[in-house]
Structure 1
Amino acid sequence: MSQLGLYQGNVRDALAAWDVALPASPSTFYRASLPRFGLYDSAGDAGQAALVDGVMTAVPIKCAAGDVITNVSFVTGAATSGTEANWWVALYSSASTPALLAQSADQLTADVAVNTVKTVALSAPQTITQTGYYWAAIMMHVSAGAVNSLIGTCVARPVATGERNLSVSSGSGLTTTATATLAAPAVKSFAPYVVLT
């Protein structure tokens, strides 16, 4: 067995397929919850809801000490929302019970178009003080109809001891304000593609 365990190939060659999905400049700062390929629209699978009205969906994203997070971006799918009443994004800490670091302004009735990248600024840039997994959250509340679908992927709940959740829901009946913590998160089977910049 090699230093790479059971893998017998050249790691640099194996990662070449990922290279095409990266920014053209290696100095472009971003942190993503998932790779940018192999994703699908949550609207295609009724059993894997990306968002539920008035409930946050949060995904872990690894950040390094010194990163400055200003924006949270996600990609909507083909299923349009009804009448938006409130929607926002938030960033939570890497603590065992993640604490709210910052929330965006409530986007209120601003339209969330289909098949679109939505980039929303946090209330203030957040400087990461400790390398770890932080949680990016998305919440949408509609006054009529359904919430948007999102682009992402199916994920399995943890199996091996110590595995972390890859997507969770938290809160209920949310409107204008994010909860102070991601308390009592419920494991989700769909993880949206989220990017921090």
Structure 2
Amino acid sequence: MPPAAPRPRLLGLRDWSADRWSYRGELYEIVETPPVAMSPVLCDGAKLPDSWWEDLQQALDQIALVRTDRQAVREEYIRRRVPEFTGFPLGDIAWTTAHGDLHWANLTGPALTLMDWEGWDTAPVGYDVANLYLHSLPVPDVAERVRKEFAHVLGTPAGLVGELTASTEILQAATRVPFYAALADRVRQHVGRLVALR
């Protein structure tokens, strides 16, 4: 990852196998700055400086330039589950490299660090910022700020697939994850707005 993606420094790693499973342990430096929220879903306002939003934009732009064959979200999952949960038929999918788990508990503030990197891979364009937006829905002014800062992605035809994919994952997880169950109605309403615009 490029230096423009602020993240904890990797101090060491170890790979091993046991009982036909492969494992990897990674040791990172301690991050002193607290996360923006203790839960992935934002429940209170986030007072973040304009520079934080600029740093996040720059970090995601730099991550998108990294080449990888890994996948954060498999295409077969997207093509099967997105129409099932949203009723929206999919055409082409534009791919980019993504953090893969971008939500408020994985971002620090007021100084930005992106944490929790085991899921970085390719994902549909807009997937990262769609996740951040959806996890912001309980705080409308922050959700609106996310849409404003990333308007060049959210609301575009390419970014629509990322939004629908992130929405599908939350809706599918709502039956087993309490904070997603609490978020599900807002996500359904958002999906309804997205589909109505198309």
TM-score exceeds 0.5: no
More helix by share: 2
More strand by share: 1
TM-score bin, normalised by smaller chain: under 0.3
